[in-house]
């Protein structure tokens, strides 16, 4: 009986060793994957920063005004002037819809029309 317990204990130790070995290599593989993902994220952030800088460079007001002047015949773009804007007090407010509250409204499903 004792030998059976020793054999079972040895098998349990071998099994747990195999499990720990497998988990160690799985963990190392995932850590390598995380490192590669972090490198990809860093490269993507660098590309985004470069694209933002290029966008800011291309959208400079002096460059855009030069482009508008060069393409005036084709586009007909005019510069914005301060007198083209109006005061907020002169903007009309939307007229709210008038709801007739003298008639009852049926909210039950019995009043719904069947298709």
> Would you give per-residue pLDDT tens digits along the chain (115 residues)?
889 999 999 999 999 999 999 999 999 999 999 999 999 999 999 999 999 999 999 999 899 888 888 888 888 877 778 888 888 888 888 887 777 777 777 777 655 555 4
Tokens for 36?
């590669």
- Cα separation, 31 vs 88, whole angstroms: 58
- Cα separation, 59 vs 50, whole angstroms: 14
- Cα separation, 79 vs 86, whole angstroms: 16
- Cα separation, 49 vs 17, whole angstroms: 48
> Per this entry, what is the length of the chain?
115
pTM of the model: 0.49
pLDDT the model gives residue 87? 86
Ranges of each domain in the chain: 1-75
Q: Which residue, 94, 92, 69, 91, is CA-closest to 79? A: 69
- Cα separation, 59 vs 54, whole angstroms: 9
Tell me if 77 sits within 8 A of 66, measured CB to CB: no
């Amino acid at each position: 009986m004792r030998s059976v317990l020793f054999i079972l204990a040895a098998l349990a130790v071998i099994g747990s060793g195999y499990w720990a070995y497998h988990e160690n290599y799985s963990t190392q593989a995932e850590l390598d994957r995380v490192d590669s993902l972090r490198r990809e994220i860093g490269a993507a952030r660098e590309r985004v920063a470069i694209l933002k800088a290029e966008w800011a460079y291309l959208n400079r007001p002096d460059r855009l005004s030069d482009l508008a002047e060069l393409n005036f015949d084709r586009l007909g773009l005019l510069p914005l002037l301060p007198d083209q804007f109006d005061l907020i007090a002169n903007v009309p407010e939307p007229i709210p819809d008038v709801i007739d509250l003298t008639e009852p409204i049926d909210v039950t499903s019995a009043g719904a029309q069947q298709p």
